[in-house]
Amino acid sequence: MDSPLGPMPQPTLDDQEFWEACNRDELVIQQCAECGTLRHLPRPMCPKCYSLQYQWPVMSGRGTVHSYTVIHNPAHPALRDRVPYNVVLVELEEGPRVVSNVVDTPSEGIHVGMPVVVLFQEVAPGVKLPKFRKA
């Protein structure tokens, strides 16, 4: 589903709990119930032990910028008025990496290794996205 604000999440059976947790202001990551492997993006089978059993522990929300880019040519027409904007790969304290944006910091202020913490930004009624801010 798209909105004037840009593309919106389309929850699937595999990631629905992730999006529901975001709307509760919780960052959860899928974890194998057999071997404990954390995995993001969510999927039905553990890539390490092939188990189909999983759970959704709440993460600390703390991490560091592992990589980033600044977008000057938007991939979606609804983002045209937002350029330039950043896209970051955040490595969570717990290990998994998530793609998001850093808010409240100019793009020139973002750097690899920068400590960040999650916040949840409502982008449409009932739709919150995980974003990060400088810690």
Neighbours of 54 (CB within 10 A): 20
Instruction: Please state the separation of Cα 75 from the chain's center in Å.
Output: 18
End-to-end alpha-carbon separation of the chain, Å? Answer: 32
Residue 109 pLDDT greater than 90, yes or no: yes
Q: Could you read off the pLDDT of 36-81 as tens digits, one per residue?
A: 999 999 999 999 999 999 999 999 999 999 999 999 998 888 888 8
d(CA 120, CA 133): 10
Which H helix or E strand runs over 76?
none
pTM: 0.92
Q: Could you read off the pLDDT of 79-105 as tens digits, one per residue?
A: 888 899 999 999 999 999 999 999 999
